Amino acid sequence: MSILLVGLSHHSAPVALLEAVAVSDSQRDPLTEELIAGDHVDEAMIVTTCNRVEVYSAAKAFHPALDDVVALLARHSGLSIEELSRHLYIRYSESAAEHLFSVASGLDSMVVGEQQIIGQIRTAYQSASEIGAAGTTLHRLAQQALHVGKRVHTETGIDSAGASVVSVALDRAAEILDETRLGGDRDGKQRLEGRRAVVLGAGAMGGLAVAHLGRGGISHIDVTNRTPERAERLSEIARDAGTPATSFPLEDIPQVIAEADILFTCTGAVGTVVSLGDVHTALAGRGDRGHLVICDLGMPRDVDASVSGLPGVTVLGIEALKADPATSGAAAESDAARTIVDAELTAYTQAERMAEVGPLIGKLRGRGGQVVAAEMRRLEARLPDMDDKMRDEVANTVRRVVDKLLHPPTVKVKELAARPDGENYAAVVSTLFDLDENVDEEAS
């Protein structure tokens, strides 16, 4: 049984499409049950967050299972299979496991290192288990992923990796705006008194930006998002923390930018959100407002690339920020996390290959037992006067001979199964000993 992953996330799909495919808690179980009710998926688990939907399934055949999963997502979202397929990513077997381990570690998140995803994976697994959709295959996968995520967050500083990029971006923005107006509090944190900021995107990174801006002493924050409710919620959080903040409609962004000193963006959208025309309009309405610094942390970028050439505008992009010496520690923590993921993936795949060979070894020993039983029946037919003591002694001798003959191939096939090409050796053993035949049949 192999793992099939079919998913889409902020890396592959625009926000509107993600919203169409989004699976609520109440929808998760019915969709999972519908999937395993078919002929091609034996186990299923749906991991869903605000910016990803991923279906993990255990399947015997790749293509039929893939068709079932894609068709399910298409029916659920109301999208055509063709439109949906353009934004899906598909992983199989070891690649699917590697992806889930990376997700659990926070390496695939909009904010690198965020821990919330671990709880979301745990919820997905528990939900699948409760309805009988998670069997042995998904159990091993989910438990290992949770172990990997916990180990990464315990043994590395990945938790602070994403936050450090946000912090550096806003520190650089403050320096560019007016170093003479920057002071420092008792903790040495830079201040942004008298400045206004616009935060575009109300996800995890947008939340970090609001928190850092508030601690830096920003005078006002305007928040916008494709979903107005989320923008209002984030502005409410800022107000509760003591920072004046309001939410506004996305279409008003040129007018609001005109009053701002910093624009921070991280929407996860696939296309451009802030156009060259938007910024032109904003600049025309700024008067003597001064320089505008745009921190574009979107991947891909949220702001039209040509904006960086405009006078009076500085664009700080994610790639340049990651290359900044101040974020080198974050990069090192990500590398350390990746090392753990790679090591755990190797251990997992080796264990999976050895687990897969278990039934084969059982068949091999069963074949040996068949041979012993058949030969004993043949001997008893030829020597009907053989007493019980003699019969037991002969049977034990034959069993020992068979066990000794089967021991080397049994040990060796376990060792070879851990190799990347282990299934080839298992197939050879199966063919040599006729293990594809029904083990209940008597050996001739």
pLDDT in tens, 278-301: 999 999 998 888 899 999 988 678
CATH class, range 2-156:
alpha beta
In the numeric block, the tokens 């309805």 are attached to 131
Q: What are the extents of the domains in the chain?
A: 2-156, 161-330, 354-444
* Tens-digit pLDDT profile for residues 293-334: 999 988 678 999 999 989 999 999 877 776 666 666 667 788
What average pLDDT does the chain have?
86
Determine the average pLDDT of the residues in 156-173.
Answer: 80
Is it the case that residue 36 has pLDDT exceeding 90? yes
Residue with tokens 């030829």, as numbered in its chain: 382
Does the pLDDT at position 183 exceed 80?
no
Query: Packing angle between helix 328-382 and helix 161-178, nearest 10 degrees?
Result: 160
Q: Judge whether residue 50 has pLDDT over 80.
A: no
Per-residue pLDDT at 3: 95
d(CA 434, CA 429): 8
* pLDDT in the model for residue 270: 66
Would you list the DSSP string of 138-200?
A: HHHHHHHHHHHHHHHHHHS-GGGHHHHHHHHHHHHHHHHHHGGG--B-TT--B--TT-EEEEE
Q: Which residues are catalytic?
A: 50
**What pLDDT is attached to residue 436?**
67
Weakest-pLDDT range from 13-22, 307-316, 425-434: 425-434
pLDDT of residue 113: 72
Mark the binding-site residues for substrate, compressed into ranges.
49-52, 109, 114-116, 120
- For the annotated binding site, the residues are 49-52, 109, 114-116, 120, 201-206
At 351 the pLDDT is 82
pLDDT value of position 192? 83
Per-residue pLDDT, 133: 97
Please state, in angstroms and rounded to a whole number, the distance separating the CA atoms of residues 6 and 180: 52
Query: Tens digit of pLDDT for each residue in 109-144?
Result: 766 777 788 999 999 999 999 999 999 999 999 999
Domain 161-330 has CATH 1.10.260.40: no
Q: Tell me which of 161-165, 207-211, 270-274 is least confident.
A: 161-165
Q: Do domains 2-156 and 161-330 have the same CATH topology?
A: no
Over residues 59-99, the pLDDT tens digits come to 989 999 999 999 999 999 999 999 999 999 999 999 999 99
User: Would you state the pLDDT for residue 182?
Assistant: 42
pLDDT tens for residues 371-421?
A: 889 998 999 899 988 898 998 999 999 999 988 988 888 887 777 776 766
Per the model's pLDDT, the better-predicted residue between 163 and 223 turns out to be 223
For residue 213, what are the CA distances in angstroms to 166, 254, 263, 296, 353?
10, 21, 11, 15, 50
CB contact burial 157-194 (16+ within 10 A = b; e otherwise) = bbbebbbbbbbbbbbbbbeebeeeebeeeeeeebbbee
- Please determine, for residue 104, whether its predicted confidence score (pLDDT) is greater than 90: yes
How does residue 439 score in pLDDT terms, banded at 50, 70 and 90?
very low
Higher-scoring residue by pLDDT: 6, 226 = 6
The single-letter code of the amino acid at 62 is: F
Burial label for 113, CB within 10 Å (0-12, 13-18, 19+), is buried
pLDDT level of residue 422 (50, 70, 90 thresholds): low
How do residues 214-273 score in pLDDT, each as one tens digit? 988 999 999 999 889 999 999 999 999 999 999 999 999 999 999 999 999 988 676 789
